Amino acid sequence: MTIISLKGVKFRWQPGQPLTLDIEAFEVEGGERLFLHGASGSGKSTLLNILAGVLLPESGTVQCLGREIDGLSNHERDRFRADHVGMIFQQFNLVPYLSVLENVLLPCHFSARRRDNAGAGGSAAKDARQLLDHLGLAGKIGARAVTRLSVGQQQRVAVARALIGKPELIIADEPTSALDADRRGQFLDLLLGQCQALGSTLLYVSHDLSLMNHFSRCLSMSELNRAPQEEAV
Amino acid sequence: MPYLPVLAVKSAWNRRSTLSLILISVALSTMLLLGVDRARISARQSFSQTVSGTDLIVGARTSAIQLLLYSVFHLGEATNNVDWKSYQALASHPDVAWAIPISLGDSHQGFPVVGTTPDYFRFFRYGNKQPLAFAQGRQFGGIFEAVIGASVAKKLQYHLGDTIVLSHGTSGAGLLSHSDKPFTVVGILAETGTPVDRTVHVSLAAIEAIHLDWAGGAPIPGMSIPEQYVTKFDLTPKTITAALLGLKSRIAVFRVQRYINDFKAEPLMAALPGVALDQLWDVMSIAEQSLLFTSAMVVAASLAGLVAVLLAGLGERRRELAILRSVGAGPWQILLLILGESVFVTLTACITGLLALDVLTWISSPWIQSHYGLTLSGDPVSANELMLLAAILIAAAIASVLPALKAYRQTLADGLTPRI
Amino acid sequence: MRATYILVLLTGLLSGRGNDVSAADAKADYRVGERLTQPAPGVSSPTSYKETSWDMLVPEDWNPLRAFKGLDLGKLKDSDPRAIEALDRMREMWSSAPVQTSLNGARIRIAGFIIPLERQRNEIREFLLVPYFGACIHVPPPPANQIIYVIPSKPLKDAQTMDAFWVSGTLELAYADSPPWGASGYRMKADIVVPYTKH
């Protein structure tokens, strides 16, 4: 089924300013692994915020999992995001005052659906530990403070958090940029493997073209977004 | 979301090194506000315990508050004295059941000395019509015998049979002393929680005796009457400072009061203790209000500091708040999170301040009792103090709306991708 | 500045809490000598207490102004001894005012101003009830048959001199235990003491 469908979406930050986003059509099917190439200033941050339901376009429709999320109230969009979307950021992905395990379980406190999914096999904590295990973070790491992890470990914890409770859509915003070049491939394999295993759709945004070949479909923001793009220096 | 309070607590704990200074500030200001209130209420309760069953206090014409203060609390000085003959006339009035004369002017190591008759131990009541009781010994009989209150005995470590020397004047300097006529402690009173505890009681004759060879407030040079000869002189008092009266019928109080106020032989006044106390409260309430207002301003200042710290910290938390947004928190929940942290810090500070105050109260109680005759309440917290604490928490919550709103607007603008 | 506004709000919030004695500000501003308005005596009240006015505490045949009967003050010279003597006689009657013996044991409800006698912490355990404001402070005190010595069944909290109350209870005559014998005034064990309102 179509996971994401955007039609005629236009967005500008301030009235009177030129459009940041102007997308005629954008569709993502369930189970796809989409690589979205976008340089800074291409409007990708704005697009991610709209897909996650944080921002509303000034015109057009945003459909996600068959629901028109631009018609929902603020509170309903937040709930939707909690239930169906997992996000991974470029860096500083973890809440510093929670342990590794608490970070992974964070979405379960905001979504009953994900909490129930995670707890289906016993307890949510057990599911979390399993995820961490699959990502190569086994053992006592669960109780460790996040500030004591390496960047690579932090990113993998972020993946676990994005995946817990089986959200249908995973959005990753440049998650490998902060990693060493030789670790990037390894990380990507882990991420893709887990998404496959759980049946989630992955939308991967990055400006690193060398990773393109891991993905079934590639798209560039300049193709997608008709609005004039800022030149990044 | 029930997880928000947990997040708030963990978040505040994570930043404890920055927040602990602010916590101390709020705790100290809480301690100040609660302390002022506690002292105020304790003072009132303590004062109203001091005299019971006394219908009228008589003294030279002055204000009722002043009369109450020097005759019952032994604070301040009388402007004039009462002639002994006037006192005798009052004591024999048909409506008067008993009379206790009081003579002030001397002290012992800073404690006031009261010259009186054995009727004092018989008729004086305090608290809820409780009579005085002796912990040890008996009342004075011979001229140079003294009965001391419980705090005097405790502070100066006196026992029965000890010898003490009185000083002239009520200041603690003790420069002019009656060292040629020492007194023996023959009785120690049980603790009352009133100014009686810090008083040294002697007979009226004794007061006359120690001033025999004095004139105008100082010893007459070259003249000294040894103590064994004092009985050769007339030791009837000429004047006293004040008197406490008990009437046969409490309804007669106005009649007797008017008789005393209209007394032709000398200008006297009679005050009802209950009414004089209310007048004292009125005067004190001005001071109380100022103290409370100042303390409230101090609390407000410390809360402003808390708000400033929270505001300053918002800049570095944009990433963290974006993460929370990404897992489904809404801007309202971010606002509540900031509010929750602030309330948590304030609550901890309030409890710390209250406990610190309790410890301070416990430590200083004995000293205050022996210096002022005031008993501080021993309760860890009173209903009034709980309401003050609630007011502080509400004030903190209101003040924290400022940083919480800022966080709200910030997260709306940042979304999931703050520009750090 | 928003911060200043919030600071002022906090201060108001905190200092307004501080004074619990300001409950006595509910004490209306009475003028010296003012009496409380009571409904006409004999009006049936929901309780079993009879509404009583202070006049009913005075026997009908007692009139301290009798000394002045027949004395035309306009015709006397200044400092006439008869005027002074009449005043003295009136004062004497005032101070030996007799009680209305029929009221012994009566259950009454009466409004007046209190004068605290016995205090324990912030509770008043015994007080005198007088008919008009300022008695004993600014104006001459009332005669003995216009004062009631009240012991309430529950102590009064947060009350001050000259606060106004409705007092309901059983009135008794107090007898002197020494010459001159006889009833010297009124006492009451009060069952209900409530702050004064016009009902």
Model confidence over A93-131: pLDDT tens digits? 899 999 999 999 999 999 989 888 888 877 888 888 888
Whether residue B35 contacts residue B357, with contact meaning beta carbons closer than 8 Å, is answered with yes
Does the residue C86 lie in any domain? yes
Which of chain B's residues have a Cβ under 8 Å away from the Cβ of C180? 94
Higher pLDDT, B229 or B47: B47
B212 and B87 assigned to the same domain: yes
Nearest-by-CA chain B residue for C146: B251
B22 and B89 assigned to the same domain: no
Does the residue B419 lie in any domain? no
Does the residue C7 lie in any domain? no
Choose among C15, C144, C149: nearest Cβ to B296: C15
Model confidence over C131-189: pLDDT tens digits? 888 766 566 678 888 889 999 999 998 888 889 999 999 998 887 665 566 667 889 99
Closest CA to A61 of A4, A16, A17, A19: A4
Instruction: Provide mean pLDDT across the span B242-248.
Output: 93
Q: Are there at least 3 beta-carbon pairs closer than 8 Å between A and C?
A: no
Distance CA B214, CA B166 (A): 14
C177 and C106 assigned to the same domain: yes
Q: Quick one: what percent of chain C has pLDDT higher than 70?
A: 62
C182 is in which domain, residue-wise? Answer: 50-61+97-195
User: Is residue B315's pLDDT more than 90?
Assistant: no
Q: Please state the length of chain A.
A: 233
User: With bands split at pLDDT 50, 70 and 90, how would you rate the model's confidence at B85?
Assistant: very high
Neighbours of B15 (CB within 10 A): 18
> Is C126–B250 a contact, with Cβ atoms under 8 angstroms apart?
yes
User: With bands split at pLDDT 50, 70 and 90, how would you rate the model's confidence at C18?
Assistant: very low
For chain A, domains (ranges, CATH) are: 2-224 (3.40.50.300)
B387 is in which domain, residue-wise? Answer: 3-47+283-414
B155 and B221 assigned to the same domain: yes
Does the residue B228 lie in any domain? yes
List of residues 6+ apart from A82 with CB closer than 8 A:
A107, A110, A111, A114, B327, B328, B329
> Is B13–A97 a contact, with Cβ atoms under 8 angstroms apart?
yes
> Is A89–B328 a contact, with Cβ atoms under 8 angstroms apart?
no
Task: Provide ipTM, 2 decimals.
Answer: 0.90
B234 and B350 assigned to the same domain: no
User: With bands split at pLDDT 50, 70 and 90, how would you rate the model's confidence at C21?
Assistant: very low
DSSP secondary structure string for all residues of B280-334 = HHHHHHHHHHHHHHHHHHHHHHHHHHHHHHHHHHHGGGHHHHHHHHHTT--HHHH
> Is B324–A87 a contact, with Cβ atoms under 8 angstroms apart?
no
B29 and B121 assigned to the same domain: no
Which of chain C's residues have a Cβ under 8 Å away from the Cβ of B394? 13
> Is B275–C136 a contact, with Cβ atoms under 8 angstroms apart?
yes
B387 and B248 assigned to the same domain: no
State how far residue C59 is from chain B, nearest Cα, in angstroms. 18
List of residues 6+ apart from C50 with CB closer than 8 A:
C41, C42, C106, C107, C108, C109
Choose among C20, C118, C184: nearest Cβ to B249: C184
Does the residue B276 lie in any domain? no
User: With bands split at pLDDT 50, 70 and 90, how would you rate the model's confidence at B7?
Assistant: very high
B123 and B217 assigned to the same domain: yes
- The per-residue pLDDT of chain B, averaged, comes to 89
- The per-residue pLDDT of chain C, averaged, comes to 74
Model confidence over C174-191: pLDDT tens digits? 876 655 666 678 899 999
Does the residue C38 lie in any domain? no
Distance CA A195, CA B63 (A): 90
C157 and C190 assigned to the same domain: yes
Distance CA B8, CA B345 (A): 10
Distance CA A229, CA A223 (A): 11
C142 and C117 assigned to the same domain: yes
C89 and C155 assigned to the same domain: no
B42 and B62 assigned to the same domain: no
Distance CA B407, CA B409 (A): 6
Nearest-by-CA chain B residue for C119: B48
Distance CA C84, CA C66 (A): 14
Domain count within chain B: 2
Instruction: Provide mean pLDDT across the span A1-13.
Output: 88
Does the residue C14 lie in any domain? no
Does the residue C78 lie in any domain? yes
Does the residue B213 lie in any domain? yes
Look at residue C71 in the predicted model and tell me its pLDDT: 66
Model confidence over B286-314: pLDDT tens digits? 999 999 999 999 999 999 999 999 999 89
C57 and C121 assigned to the same domain: yes
User: Is residue B181's pLDDT more than 70?
Assistant: yes
State how far residue B8 is from chain A, nearest Cα, in angstroms. 10
B127 and B168 assigned to the same domain: yes
Does the residue B420 lie in any domain? no
B212 and B296 assigned to the same domain: no
* Chain B interface with A: residues with Cβ < 8 Å: 1, 3, 7, 10-11, 13-15, 319-320, 322-332, 415-417
Does the residue C77 lie in any domain? yes
User: With bands split at pLDDT 50, 70 and 90, how would you rate the model's confidence at C7?
Assistant: low
B24 and B148 assigned to the same domain: no
Which domain CATH number covers C122? 2.40.50.870
CA B417 centroid distance within chain: 60
> Is A94–B415 a contact, with Cβ atoms under 8 angstroms apart?
no
C109 and C136 assigned to the same domain: yes
User: Is residue B220's pLDDT more than 60?
Assistant: yes
C80 and C178 assigned to the same domain: no
C71 and C132 assigned to the same domain: no
Does the residue B125 lie in any domain? yes
B88 and B205 assigned to the same domain: yes
Instruction: Provide mean pLDDT across the span B369-375.
Output: 76
User: With bands split at pLDDT 50, 70 and 90, how would you rate the model's confidence at B379?
Assistant: confident
C74 and C105 assigned to the same domain: no
Does the residue C161 lie in any domain? yes
C123 and C183 assigned to the same domain: yes
- The per-residue pLDDT of chain A, averaged, comes to 87
Does the residue B277 lie in any domain? no
Domain count within chain C: 2
C107 and C185 assigned to the same domain: yes
User: Is residue B354's pLDDT more than 90?
Assistant: yes
Tell me how many degrees the CA angle C150-C155-C158 measures, rounded to the nearest 5.
Answer: 110
Does the residue C56 lie in any domain? yes
What does the DSSP 8-state code read for residue C147? -
List chains touching A (3+ CB pairs under 8 A).
B
> Is B14–A75 a contact, with Cβ atoms under 8 angstroms apart?
no
C89 and C127 assigned to the same domain: no
User: Is residue C24's pLDDT more than 50?
Assistant: no
Does the residue B225 lie in any domain? yes
> Is A82–B328 a contact, with Cβ atoms under 8 angstroms apart?
yes
Model confidence over C106-119: pLDDT tens digits? 888 999 999 999 88
Distance CA A106, CA B379 (A): 43
Instruction: Provide mean pLDDT across the span A159-163.
Output: 92
Choose among B255, B281, B394: nearest Cβ to C21: B281
Neighbours of A226 (CB within 10 A): 13
User: Is residue C2's pLDDT more than 60?
Assistant: no
User: Is residue B25's pLDDT more than 90?
Assistant: yes
Which of chain B's residues have a Cβ under 8 Å away from the Cβ of A54? 325, 415-416
Instruction: Provide mean pLDDT across the span C17-30.
Output: 47
Alpha helices in B125-230 (DSSP H): 150-156, 204-210
